[in-house]
Amino acid sequence: MTREREIFEEALEQPTLEAREAFVERATTGNPKLREAVEALLANVLADTFLEQGVAEPLRESLTSAGKLTLQEEQIGDNIGRYKLLEKIGEGGFGVVYRAEQREPVRRQVAVKIIKLGMDTKSIVARFEAERQALALMDHPNIARVLDGGATATGRPFFVMELVRGVRITDYCAANQIPLQERLTLFIQLCYAIQHAHQKGVIHRDLKPSNVLVTVQDGKPVPKVIDFGVAKAIEEPLTEKTILTNFHAFIGTPAYTSPEQAEMTGTDVDTRSDIYSLGVLLYELLTGVTPFDAKELTQSGLDGMRRMIKEVEPPKPSTRLSRVVAGSSANPLTILVDRDLDWIVMKCLEKDRTRRYDTAGELAADLQRYLDQEPVLARPQSTAYRLHKALRRHRAAFAAAATILIAIVAGTTVSVWQAWRAASAERLSEQRRKNEEVLRHDAERERGRALESQERAELNEYVANINLAHQSILAGNLARATELLAKHRDTGSQRFEWRYLWQAAQGDDHRLFAQEASSVLSLANSPEWLVVGLPDSVRIYSSQSGSLVKSLAKSGSSVALSTAGLLATAGKSSVRIWRTSDWAAVYSVPEHRAPIAFSPDGRYLAATSPNGVQIYSSSDGKLVAKIPNSVPPFAFSPDSNVIAVDSSQGIVAWDLNAVKALRVLENSQGMFNAPQVRDMKVLVFSPDGHSVVAARNTLRDGSIFALEVWACATGEKVATMPVQRNTIEHSGMISALAFAPGGQLLASGSRDHSVRLWDLSTLQCIERLHGNSSEVWTLTFAADGQGIISGAKDGTIRLWPTNATTRETFYEGNWMPIKFSQDGRILAAINDQSRFVLLNLRTAEPEDSLTLGKLPFGLWAGAISDDLCVLAHPLPEGGIRVWDLPSRKSVDLESHEIHRSWATIAPDGSTLLAGGNRDSVLWWNLLAPSEAPLRIGGKGALFSRNGAVVTLHDRSIKLWNPTTRTLKAEFPITADFGFGTPLALSDNGGILAAGSNPIAETENAIRLWDTHNGKLLGLCKGHTQGVRWLAFSPDGETLASVGDDSTLRFWNVRTQQELLSIQRLADPVRDILFSPDGHWLAAKTLGGLRLLDGSGDRDAGKTTALGNSPADR
């Protein structure tokens, strides 16, 4: 330091101006030049803003200019991230599209769309990121996958998509003169693609010919929708100002813009806006022009354009066609577009979106009806119209009836034909009766359809909202999920998936203790008090009553309670000590700041000074020790003899009695470099004093947001949690740690909103507590160790019981669930150690068990009757052993055909169906097991809970009378049932579900049939690999499935739409089973048996009556 500066600084310390002048005079005696310099310096100490405001404003400007100079358009050959631009393939209102090459992780060609300059890159990328999860869920052959997105080096947003080499759908149809039927077929495919996206919660928002490309695959045209997610990401909240700047962007596609989009409020766009755009597209496919002329729209100015879209009724397609034809006679579609298509198109183009089709699927279905010459729903429903359609369909039958009528009239006069007449009259009346029946039946069906469409609309909305709610939960937005689910409480509360999501949306069991007005910075508690530190006050609550006892108007960046009846509070510049008996201030430690801590024995107070961490005697505030070179965080050992504190060498353990460093903890350098982390409680001693645990929020050894554990005695690093490398528990900065009193249980709180519990003895994360709606900033254990108290950024303080029940119960071991008892209280299961148990789900104890002797290595483990009395399992040498469980007696069913096979038992235990892999299905009467079984053949057989029997055959399904074992009906179906095809029968026996033959087929679909008539109800498509297990919910509304892709999916049976897809529980799922009350889903996973709780619409904070601590804790 220069002499000049020394004098200057000391002069400033002088208490008065006179003293300052005197000091300077003294210090510079004999050096007038120095005196002048110092005086000039002192004269320039002014309390103005010189240099203080930094250069934020000018910096921004200059950086803009500095940046702008380097901005230029991307060139062919440039690399955008890991994509190399190869060729410009398009240019539109928003940006430029390139064909590009991706080199890793796979080498492939992709399309890269770079958005034009002048748009808000940051929010575009943010919006894209927000949409990404939903986009990733879309998996449809007619949708181009969105692969990636981000910002280029020059700051322009870009999107990476599957490269589609195709032409616009309109161009394709026009150039190839595609006939109407094919156009509609193509368009129907498009509708289903849009429907798929809508089900995943994604709205396109910019459907137009240039976003629907047709490629030709194997000689067949395949439409592909591109640009999903792009419109939403680049859509800006529109204000008058942005309307002006984005006018050109907007008018890129006004012809396809729905009235509500033209409104430009930007908030109110839903799936029905896409329906409108589909309508415009269909209009264009039929007539060759859009409902409103694009040029006319643009010329009418922004307001005129909006008015036109919102108010003007466009001409019907047939009207438009006749007009077009008047001009040129070249359109082959002219005469073909009839009134029905008019209705369909105009229903899409309704200004009031509630009058449009509710879903793209409905639009597709109506077009299909048109193609099948059935009545379309779009048309106003009148009996005359329906009859007209019915007549057209049954033209042949009506004609026959008319002929016979004429014959009768003639026949009455010709006696020779008397006899014949009698017979034919009989035939005739029969025929007429039949015809009437057909008509009546048709009419009924139409009525049923109309009813169904209302129902369908509701179901579609339900499915869409379930999807959205699931995504909201995954994204941590529990409030939004609750809101979505609440809309369907009436119907939803009857269904497993709704209850399951509802519970997830309520978070884990907890209680809101208090809601503070500002963020909770720190917490301290004792059996008497809970002290809450806020930015400008400290609030003290009674631990017992929860009532507010005292509020201190001091900053509470850090608070601490001592066993000696003291409270310490600290802000950024001072530490104060208070008496807890009367909350009187005792003393303060100036120039010290948060964080602070009392030693467990109450002797010491540690606080942070500019020169490092210092130790005071807590009774009188006298300095005891300075710990050189130290920085927070720090922690006292339980015996108060050691303090662990961070330093530039790493975490050092200091002996407080000898005031010397004991050791540096191994590899503990640079643990706390993340911003603001040093003020938080991220370093703790275990209650036994053996271990020191620190939160590491920095990337090291392939992990981040981890906990490091050291042995205090040796300084050796003993563990990192999570133990597995490359696994992440917390997904945000860990901001607080706390040990349960006297235990090995450690809680961590994080900015990811969650609290996690760790068992230090096993080094496992044993509990994840969700329910906070903002960042957890601090936490502590209740004094009795029975709960965790968390404080969050949003000012909430929550109590989390550590012995709370969980929604998911887990049983270790390789258990295969077989059946629930009727009341759902008991689960029959069998494990790979040949042990059979009846597990009481309330006590988690077996009610009964049986060791079965050696089981064969095979596909199935056992079958049991609904009353859990009759158990069957295969024998290693072939045949089946049947147990009467109450009497423990068994009988063996011998058959050389039954070897490594499947079996199923009637609900009442009276009969048993079993089969092998050579189309041999045998049916035993268990009341007389020595009788030879009935040989009925087939590929598989199922009992429903109400006792119906369905068998599956090569080209048919058969229904049987379960008591007489006789055939009731046979229906032809097309399906390929192979060995190992997963099957399920709804509880009422009405619906049969079968997965695709995993060996023979590649579509990975589930087929649903009506067993009353053999009619295929539809396909559930979504699994990316073969389907392995199926289960119906008891009400038959929901089907659960598990595939080789390890996902557990739920389907709405009536619409075959996917409700939700659970990626994996904790391990891949293997087998699933609903409880008869629909409250539980048992799932066998690789790690053990899991029970998913969908038992009720529990409100936040209330505990379920169910269950003990799971067996593995």
725 binds other proteins (CB under 8 A): no
868 conformational bin, left if phi > 0, alpha if psi -120 to 50, beta if neither: left
17 binds other proteins (CB under 8 A): no
For residue 223, give both structure tokens: 């439409």
611 binds other proteins (CB under 8 A): yes
Which span (59-67, 335-343, 526-534, 766-774) binds other proteins, by CB under 8 A?
59-67
40 binds other proteins (CB under 8 A): yes
Q: Write down the least CB distance from residue 611 to other proteins, Å.
A: 6
Q: Which amino acid is at 524?
A: A
Q: Write down the least CB distance from residue 210 to other proteins, Å.
A: 24
Q: Write down the least CB distance from residue 317 to other proteins, Å.
A: 41
12 binds other proteins (CB under 8 A): yes
Judge whether 803 and 1108 are in contact, CB under 8 Å.
no
Q: How many chain residues interact with other proteins (CB under 8 A)?
A: 66
Q: Write down the least CB distance from residue 640 to other proteins, Å.
A: 28
883, containing H or E segment: strand 880-884
Kindly tell me which residue out of 29, 62, 217, 727 binds other proteins, with binding defined by CB under 8 A: 62
50 binds other proteins (CB under 8 A): yes
Closest of 575, 562, 744 to residue 636, by C-alpha = 562
Kindly tell me which residue out of 64, 177, 551, 563 binds other proteins, with binding defined by CB under 8 A: 64
For residue 633, cis peptide bond before it (omega within 30 degrees of 0): yes
Q: Write down the least CB distance from residue 985 to other proteins, Å.
A: 56
81 binds other proteins (CB under 8 A): yes
Burial of 215 (0-12, 13-18, 19+ CB in 10 A): middle
- C-alpha dihedral over 362, 367, 370, 372, to 10 degrees? -90
Q: What angle do CA 155, 156, 157 make, to 5 degrees?
A: 120
974 binds other proteins (CB under 8 A): no
121 binds other proteins (CB under 8 A): yes
Kindly tell me which residue out of 79, 526, 910, 1104 binds other proteins, with binding defined by CB under 8 A: 79
Which span (117-125, 533-541, 562-570, 1043-1051) binds other proteins, by CB under 8 A?
117-125
Sheet strand arrangement including 660-664: 630-636, 642-647, 650-655, 660-664
Q: Lay out the site mask for other proteins across 669-688 (x = CB under 8 A, - = otherwise).
A: xxx-xxx-------------
Kindly tell me which residue out of 25, 87, 118, 886 binds other proteins, with binding defined by CB under 8 A: 118
Burial of 724 (0-12, 13-18, 19+ CB in 10 A): exposed
Give the C-alpha separation, 607 to 587, whole Å: 14
Is 688 labeled as catalytic in the residue annotation? no
For the chain, count helices (H), then strands (E). 23, 65
Kindly tell me which residue out of 20, 21, 34, 41 binds other proteins, with binding defined by CB under 8 A: 41
Q: Radius of gyration (Cα) for the chain, nearest Å?
A: 38
Q: Write down the least CB distance from residue 32 to other proteins, Å.
A: 16
Query: Would you say 22 or 699 has its CB closer to other proteins?
Result: 699
Q: What angle do CA 591, 595, 598 make, to 5 degrees?
A: 100
1 binds other proteins (CB under 8 A): yes
Query: Would you say 54 or 105 has its CB closer to other proteins?
Result: 54
User: In angstroms, how far is CA 542 from the centroid of its own chain?
Assistant: 40
Give the C-alpha separation, 279 to 367, whole Å: 12
Q: Write down the least CB distance from residue 1071 to other proteins, Å.
A: 43
For residue 182, give both structure tokens: 């094919």
Q: Write down the least CB distance from residue 521 to other proteins, Å.
A: 16
1017 binds other proteins (CB under 8 A): no
Query: Would you say 154 or 435 has its CB closer to other proteins?
Result: 154
User: In angstroms, how far is CA 21 from the centroid of its own chain?
Assistant: 72
- E-only strand ranges, 92-235: 95-102, 108-115, 146-151, 157-162, 167-168, 212-217, 220-225
Binders in 585-604 for other proteins, by CB under 8 A: 591
608 binds other proteins (CB under 8 A): no
244 binds other proteins (CB under 8 A): no
Cβ-Cβ contacts under 8 Å for 478 (sequence gap 6 or more) = 472, 504, 505, 506, 507, 770, 771, 773
> Which is it for strands 585-590 and 776-781: parallel, antiparallel or unpaired?
unpaired
Kindly tell me which residue out of 3, 19, 29, 61 binds other proteins, with binding defined by CB under 8 A: 61
Binders in 131-160 for other proteins, by CB under 8 A: 151, 153-157
Query: Would you say 438 or 631 has its CB closer to other proteins?
Result: 631
Which span (302-310, 580-588, 667-675, 999-1007) binds other proteins, by CB under 8 A?
667-675
Helix (H, G, I), strand (E, B) or coil at 755: strand
Q: Which of 139, 206, 892, 908 is catalytic?
A: 206
Kindly tell me which residue out of 299, 518, 617, 648 binds other proteins, with binding defined by CB under 8 A: 648
Which residue ranges make up the site for other proteins (CB under 8 A)?
1-2, 5, 8-9, 12, 37, 40-46, 48-51, 54-71, 79, 81, 117-124, 151, 153-157, 591, 610-611, 648, 669-671, 673-675, 697-700
- Catalytic annotation, residues: 206
